[in-house]
Each structure stands twice: as structure tokens, then as C-alpha cells.
Amino acid sequence: MAESELKGEISADDWAAAMAEQGVGDGSGAGASPAGAEAHSQVFPELHPESTAGVAPERLEFILDIPVHLAVELGRTKLTVRNLVQLAQGSIVELDRLAGEPLDVLVNGCLIAQGEVVVVNDKFGIRLTDVIAPDERVRRLQR
């Protein structure tokens, strides 16, 4: 057994196998489709030097190590303090989402994408199904 498996980590090969099993390819393995590759390239365009014109490379390197808080939100609800203190093991809290709706992916509290839950080696993950466009993200920050 590999050392990473002993530590409970999921390797890139495990993720690739899980994605291929679900019919989502990376363009190189089983389950990959040309349409999927085109959609991938449209959502994640290549970063070319001209797209970062005017930005010094050392400045980009500086921000790449800044930690951010990524959260996946299943849903929300409002409770009174009375109902909150009455919660016990086995209590059910109704959320504002329907079963099957996409989950929100938030970075530092800002919505950046939506996705669906996947399970790989008994661990939860999220497959992004819709990434919010950068200009829309900026618009939401200005509100």
C-alpha cells in the first residue's frame, strides 16, 4: 500500500479513475469525449503571457501562496435560539435546497462555482458543473 494511501490522502490517479468511471475524461483517458474537452477548454482558457501583460511575474508568484478558505455549502436555514438549543442527536434541520440541486462552492465567502458531490476512496469531493465567470464574480463583489 502506498504511503499516501496510508495517510488517507487521495492520489491524482484515484481521482482520474473515479472521473473516468463516471464518464468525465481529462482528454487523455477512457470516458473522454471531444465535446467534453471542448467544454473544458472553454471554461478554463489557457493562460498566455499576453493575458498577463503589464503584471510582473514575480507579483503573480507572490499571490499564488496566499491561503484562501474554500467551503462547499449544502444549504442554509434560519432558526430561533429556542429551536437551536432544542437540537439533539437525530434532529432533522430542513435546508433551503431541494435534493439534487447543485451545491455552492465559496472562496472566502464569495460564490465562485456550483457542483455535485462525488465520492472517491470513501472521501467526499465536488465536481464543478458551473464556474461563475470572472466578470460576474467582480460584479458580485461590488454589491
Worst-scoring range by mean pLDDT, 79-83, 117-121, 136-140? 136-140
Residue 58 domain-assigned? no
Tell me the pTM: 0.53
Banded model confidence at residue 24, pLDDT cuts 50, 70, 90: low
Residue 54 domain-assigned? no
Whether residue 136 has pLDDT greater than 80: yes
Half-sphere exposure (Cβ direction) of 90: Cα atoms closer than 13 Å: 0
Residue 39 domain-assigned? yes
Residue 10 domain-assigned? yes
Residue 118 domain-assigned? yes
Strands (E), the chain: 70-73, 103-107, 110-120, 123-131
- Based on the domain organization, do 77 and 125 belong to the same domain? yes
Residue 55 domain-assigned? no
- Based on the domain organization, do 92 and 126 belong to the same domain? yes
CATH number at residue 104: 2.30.330.10
Q: Of 107 and 7, which is predicted with more confidence?
A: 107
Residue 8 domain-assigned? yes
The closest alpha carbon to 140, from 108, 106, 111, 102, belongs to: 111
Total structural domains within the chain:
2
Give the pLDDT confidence score for residue 115 in this predicted structure: 94
Q: Rounded mean pLDDT of 94-104?
A: 91
The domain of 87 spans 68-143
Q: Rounded mean pLDDT of 114-135?
A: 91
- Copy the grid coordinates of residue 107: 472562496
